[in-house]
Amino acid sequence: MMRFFKHSLIIGIIGIAVSLILFMTNWYYELVIPVFEKSMDDGPLFTFIDYLTFYTPVILMVLFLAYIIAGRVYLKNHHLKAEQQMTEELIERNTEIQKALDEKAEFLKHKYYTNCPKCGAVREENKNVCSFCGASLIIEGSKDKKA
Ligand SMILES: [Zn+2]
């Protein structure tokens, strides 16, 4: 579907231009109609074919125009969808970054024991709870003490 509409504007314009030239020069008409004239009687069917042949470029122009419009609509929707997906990905990524920043900010607000006050284990880097016993390593209410 994407491939069908990718170049619809330029193909459509060329198609309309060619149809317009066909319609104005009429050479195809001079080519086709004598064949029918020879092989059939002058009647309603001949009149119909005569008109159909004469207006074929006009029908083609309308079809090419419809092709351009359908292509524009399709590509616009396609772009909107791609844009929306990109925006969603950006929002998701921003949320993740914001969450990591919030966690970091929360972490930096406190001072920490270098050793667990409960079991004495050494605090692992960037941990706020003891990795052995799970006790909190935050020094409550103390701002001057070094972690
Ligand atoms: Zn501990």
Domain range summary for the chain, segments of one domain joined by +: 2-108, 110-147
| Ligand 1 centroid, distance to 112 Cα (angstroms) | 13
Residue 62 and residue 20 in contact, taking contact as beta carbons nearer than 8 Å: no
Q: Give the pLDDT confidence of 3-15 residue by residue, as tens digits.
A: 888 899 999 999 9
Backbone φ and ψ for 18, nearest 5 degrees, come out as -65, -45
Predicted local confidence at residue 143, as pLDDT: 53
Which residue in 79, 62, 61, 89 sits closest to 2, CA to CA? Answer: 79
- Could you give the CA distance from residue 37 to residue 31 in angstroms, rounded to a whole number? 11
Is a pLDDT exceeding 80 seen at residue 146? no
Span 20-45, mean pLDDT?
86
| Ligand 1 centroid, distance to 132 Cα (angstroms) | 5
3-state SS, residue 128: coil
| Ligand 1 centroid, distance to 122 Cα (angstroms) | 8
Is a pLDDT exceeding 90 seen at residue 2? no
| Ligand 1 centroid, distance to 10 Cα (angstroms) | 72
| Ligand 1 centroid, distance to 105 Cα (angstroms) | 24
| Ligand 1 centroid, distance to 75 Cα (angstroms) | 61
- Could you give the CA distance from residue 46 to residue 52 in angstroms, rounded to a whole number? 10
Is a pLDDT exceeding 80 seen at residue 33? yes
| Ligand 1 centroid, distance to 96 Cα (angstroms) | 30
| Ligand 1 centroid, distance to 134 Cα (angstroms) | 6
* Integer angstrom CA distances of residue 10 from 13, 18, 58: 5, 12, 18
| Ligand 1 centroid, distance to 141 Cα (angstroms) | 20
Which residue in 94, 58, 76 sits closest to 9, CA to CA? Answer: 76
- Could you give the CA distance from residue 111 to residue 27 in angstroms, rounded to a whole number? 91
Backbone torsion region of residue 39, taken as left when φ is above 0, otherwise alpha when ψ lies between -120 and 50, otherwise beta: alpha
pTM equals: 0.59
| Ligand 1 centroid, distance to 123 Cα (angstroms) | 8
Cα four-point dihedral sign 78, 84, 89, 93: positive
Q: Give the pLDDT confidence of 89-124 residue by residue, as tens digits.
A: 999 999 999 999 999 898 889 999 999 999 999 999
Predicted local confidence at residue 147, as pLDDT: 45
Average pLDDT of the chain to the nearest whole number: 90
